[in-house]
Chain A
């Protein structure tokens, strides 16, 4: 694969092949380096969101985002909300009632405009609320209760693959 020659300070970006179960391509972008300003900002989020509500894990990474964690095995960032809807449909995800949520389900946060602005994996529960593992943009992964994050938790939906 031919590599593009980068100018000093220019970002290295790439795209890999990600497909749904039935073979539809999913657009994605990998970014390779996060500059110090944004690394520092990610570190400073610890002051705003902290234990016992939020536990940050891993280092900040621009390679993948939340949807890349949930649907792309941490390989790349998926930013187009339409692609998330495509994955949910073509991977045959089934909507799960809030009361039936269990470990292994996924959670999708929908904004007021219907935008799938965030997603994560259900890894347990705390005080009766689902405990989520998700990635915050270019920043770190975090373990948090579903509402303790900078995303709109007023409209969340849970999904599961049944077969």
Chain B
């Protein structure tokens, strides 16, 4: 299957008609039953072929654009590992919202970027807990990692008298 009949995608066509922005179209098509059905009954290769054929049409029109978006968004419903290698190549399709929708798809699937931060100092906060009726534990020790040297210390409610020595911060409970 490399071609879709848009007559079977009337709901998609209505959202396409009403769409003012690519994000609106993407957010509505990805939850449509007719798009989900297409994703379920097609392989990622078939969906990619639908998009590719629509993007290679010489006489691009509204229908071929809609077919492209339906195929693309159905493809995005596949596991990321299956579609990730295909979607980037579809950015050059010349359909006006293709690039934006592909960026939205990728950003919705990729894990949040992680960064390794080199910590110059590792200050320890020794917190002297207020004595509680419920517990006998009177101290807790936490290690906090800062992006850079801490500058502002805020006194927590119930604690005061911050004293620092080297990299250690002592929060002492209020007397009340």
- A contact residues vs B (CB 8 Å cutoff): 7-11, 13, 29, 34-35, 37-38, 41-42, 45, 65-67, 77, 79-81, 111-113, 115-119, 136-139, 150-151
Which residues of chain B from 1 to 42 have a CB within 8 Å of any chain A CB? 6, 10, 13-24, 27
Q: Is the CB of A117 within 8 A of B23?
A: yes
In whole Å, how far is B52's beta carbon from the nearest beta carbon of chain A?
A: 19
Alpha-carbon distance A41/B14, docked complex (angstroms): 7
Interface size on B, as a range, is 20 to 34
Central interface residue in B18, B23, B27, B96, by most chain A CB within 10 Å: B18
Binds A, one of B55-63, B77-85, B142-150, B163-171: B55-63
- B contact residues vs A (CB 8 Å cutoff): 6, 10, 13-24, 27, 58-63, 96-97, 100
In whole Å, how far is B6's beta carbon from the nearest beta carbon of chain A?
A: 7
Given the known inter-chain contacts A29-B96, A41-B13, please indicate yes or no for A115 contacting B60, CB distance below 8 A. no
Q: Is the CB of B63 within 8 A of A67?
A: no
In whole Å, how far is B170's beta carbon from the nearest beta carbon of chain A?
A: 42
Q: Is the CB of A113 within 8 A of B23?
A: yes
Q: Is the CB of B61 within 8 A of A115?
A: no
Name B's interface SS. Answer: helix
Contacts of B58 in A (CB 8 A): 7, 10
In whole Å, how far is B25's beta carbon from the nearest beta carbon of chain A?
A: 9
In whole Å, how far is B59's beta carbon from the nearest beta carbon of chain A?
A: 4
Name A's interface SS. Answer: loop
Contacts of A138 in B (CB 8 A): 17
CB-defined A-B contacts under 8 Å, sample of 5 = A10-B59, A35-B61, A79-B22, A117-B21, A118-B24
Q: Is the CB of A38 within 8 A of B97?
A: no
Contacts of B97 in A (CB 8 A): 79
Closest to A41 in B: B17
Contacts of B18 in A (CB 8 A): 136-137, 139, 150-151
Q: Is the CB of B96 within 8 A of A79?
A: yes
Of A37, A79, A117, the contact of B63 (CB 8 Å cutoff): A37
Of A7, A113, A117, the contact of B59 (CB 8 Å cutoff): A7
